[in-house]
Amino acid sequence: MQPPTIFNPKVLNPVDPAIEGYMRHLVNRTDDPVLTEMETMAENKNFPIVGRLVGIFLETLARTIDAKRVFEFGSGYGYSAYWFSKAVGPEGNVICSDADPLNKEKAERYLNSAGLGNRVSFHVGFAQDIFSKTEGMFDICYNDVDKGQYPEVWHLAKNKIRLGGLYIADNALWHGRVAVDNYVDIVPGWTEAIMEHNQLIFNDPEFDAFINPIRDGVIVARRKTK
């Protein structure tokens, strides 16, 4: 009998690297030194930021719905928040959360240098707890925490997104693991949790959803207005 094929996650690129390279080349217009510093830091420390293509996608989505209030679950050192805070404008607010206090320090340093610091409030702790204690509705809830927690975050966030607002989550394709039978999970249960999360969203009658396959897949769900 043949042994089961073990899926090597590096093999399945949702978008061919040459095509991503081309798209990346098109968006080279942003030459903010703070952004470049954040990207270099990610590369040197192997820290999983969303990257330039997804960053521009997040900013564009936020501008499209005129977002003013964004909650981020899992902000790292503020790279995704950089893009959201550009979109919300001087009157807007991006509420960031991360378990690591060092990330708050770094994020505040970077975002202040970029002139965006006054649009961001950064909270250290368990993102779901911080979210539950934050009152009001959001234009966007953005999820990038540990992947086993994805269904929980969706359940929490969906009712606090205003009509016409967006739920966005990174890593929806998890380097292709969601699409094959035999895969090697980095952490047991993470692939299953992402698959459950995606299915919950696509089954929800209150939301329209789509996955943009760039980088590692970005799921976007819009709360219907009628």
Ligand X SMILES: C[S@@+](CC[C@H](N)C(=O)[O-])C[C@H]1O[C@@H](n2cnc3c(N)ncnc32)[C@H](O)[C@@H]1O
Residue 98 vs 139, nearer CB to ligand X: 98
**Contact residue for ligand X among 61, 88, 114, 127 (CB under 6 A):** 127
- As a whole number of angstroms, the distance between CA 56 and CA 52 comes to 6
Instruction: Select from 14, 74, 151, 217 the one that contacts ligand X (CB under 6 A).
Output: 74
CA distances from 83 to 80, 149, 163, 179 (A): 5, 24, 22, 29
52 vs 80: CA distance, rounded Å: 9
52 vs 222, beta carbon nearer ligand X:
52
Shortest approach of ligand X to residue 202 CB, angstroms?
Answer: 23
Residue choice 14, 71, 76, 201 for contact with ligand X (CB under 6 A): 76
71: phi > 0 → left, psi -120 to 50 → alpha, else beta; which?
beta
| Distance in angstroms between the alpha carbons of the first and the last residue of the chain | 54
* Count of positions on this chain that bind ligand X (CB under 6 A): 20
- Nearest approach in angstroms of CB 131 to ligand X is 9
Residues that bind ligand X (CB under 6 A): 48-50, 74-76, 79-80, 97-100, 103, 126-128, 144-146, 149
